[in-house]
Amino acid sequence: MYDQLLFPTDGSEGAATAFEHILDVAAAHDATVHVLSVVDTTADGLRRVSDEAVDELERDAEQLVSETAATAEERGVETVTAVERGEPYEEIGAYANREGADLIAMPTHGHRGLERFFLGSTTERVVRHADVPVLTIRPDEDARIAHPYRNVLLPTDGSDCSAEAVRTGIGVVTGDDAAFHLLSVIDTMALGADVRTEMQMESLEESANQILEDSTAVAADSGVDSPTTAVEYGSSIPNTILSYIDDHEIDLLVVGTHGRTGFERFLLGSVTEKLIRTSPVPVLTVREPTEE
């Protein structure tokens, strides 16, 4: 499933927690971990400092990736280290493409702390723009971080992006010999006052079951038969998904970065963004492939 994993780090406690999980994944797949640190030369403060000061920051970054790699080597995980200058999310994406990374793995927040978590953060921008799947990990004490994954959940809305997420999730399931859960959530708050009429309920359920049937067919084509499927009603799609995670001991959540609401709603206030903020388990986000 994974051969080349990219781990950008800023040396924070959040990064250290996430790195332990990435080492578990890398060891299981005999993968190489690329440890990358980016000196943010686009920050306001750095625009006014001397070249010598930037050089010092780069030396600190080189020490950071070296120390991080040493931790990996203690686990028998092969590493590559790199330090780049520039806009962090751009450099991370460019490095992933250049080095053929299968996965980018990052904590949901780092040095700037939880108050800056996600909105405008490097992690959020990487999730938005990266061409490869991104694994985000909450580094706080409420998170449940375990590997190998035994139960993988994929909420689907039938969009092309969800279909791509299904295929990515299948790779994880087969690689870890995990159980696969497919979930379709019907948002009762978005359907008007008459949502509970019998005819509307039947129509909604029929559509949700068709989505699950289509996703099950995609899974079957990839050799995963009889996934667990469920249709749930809820006034909040994220909360319904979170409840399913708790009720079924899910270890990994796989989601598309945008769905039927379109790319313009991606992340800001979206289901995906809320799940990355609040999921107690790691979240693997998948973008729909773009046409060349």
Supply the pTM of this predicted model: 0.88
> Mean pLDDT, the chain, as a whole number?
85
Q: Model confidence over 71-120: pLDDT tens digits?
A: 999 999 999 999 999 999 999 999 999 999 999 999 986 544 443 344 44
pLDDT greater than 80 at residue 144: yes
Residue 132: Cβ within 10 Å count: 18
The residue-averaged pLDDT of 3-28 equals 92
Q: Predicted confidence band at 42 (pLDDT cuts at 50, 70, 90)?
A: confident
Q: Report the percent of the chain where pLDDT is more than 70.
A: 84
User: What is the structure's pLDDT at 123?
Assistant: 87
pLDDT tens per residue, range 190-247? 665 555 566 677 888 899 999 999 999 988 888 888 899 999 998 888 999 999 999 9
Instruction: Give the pair of three-digit tokens for residue 148.
Output: 């190998």
Backbone φ, ψ for residue 250 (5° rounding): -70, 140
CB 38 within 8 A of CB 157: no
| pLDDT tens-place string over residues 269-285 | 488 888 988 999 999 99
What mean pLDDT do residues 14-33 have? 93
* pLDDT at site 118: 44
Q: What is the mean pLDDT of residues 174-191?
A: 86
Which of the two residues, 97 and 15, has the higher pLDDT score?
A: 97
Residue 163: pLDDT band with limits 50, 70, 90:
confident
Q: Return the pLDDT at 270.
A: 80
d(CA 208, CA 256): 17
Q: Is 106 exposed, middle or buried (0-12, 13-18, 19+ CB in 10 A)?
A: buried
Residues contacting residue 228 through CB under 8 Å, at least 6 positions apart: 179, 180, 181, 182, 248
Distances in Å between the alpha carbon of 202 and those of 43, 100, 146, 197, 231? 54, 46, 39, 9, 12
Report residue 291's pLDDT band, with 50, 70 and 90 as the boundaries: low
Higher pLDDT, 227 or 187: 227
